[in-house]
Amino acid sequence: MKIFYFAQAADTAGCREESWELQSPLTASEFWGELEKRHPGMGALQSICRIACNCEYLGPEERIQADDEVALIPPVSGG
């Protein structure tokens, strides 16, 4: 799974992208737990960031698969 970080999520993670080897699909909640383990402090962004999976916002029942492209989407501010 490839993960992209943007804006304050990139600042907190200290990188703009990385790859994880997934043994099994992750729920959003499991993803946030894993993120906090790998990048302490990232869990604090859970209340403001959405998760995108393959360029679509992740639905509440959907899981992240091993070959997905995931992005953390902080509050947007385009225009």
Looking at 2-10, 25-33, 36-44, 59-67, which segment touches another protein (CB under 8 A)? Answer: 2-10
Per-residue DSSP letter, 46: T
Amino acid identity for residue 67 in this structure: D
Q: How far is CA 5 from the centre of its chain?
A: 7
Closer residue to another protein, CB minimum distance, 24 or 76: 76
Binding flag, residue 18, another protein (CB under 8 A): no
| Helix, strand, or coil (residue 63) | coil
50 forms beta bridges with 73
Under rule CB under 8 A, how many of the chain's residues touch another protein? 13
Q: Is 74 an interacting residue with respect to another protein (CB under 8 A)?
A: yes
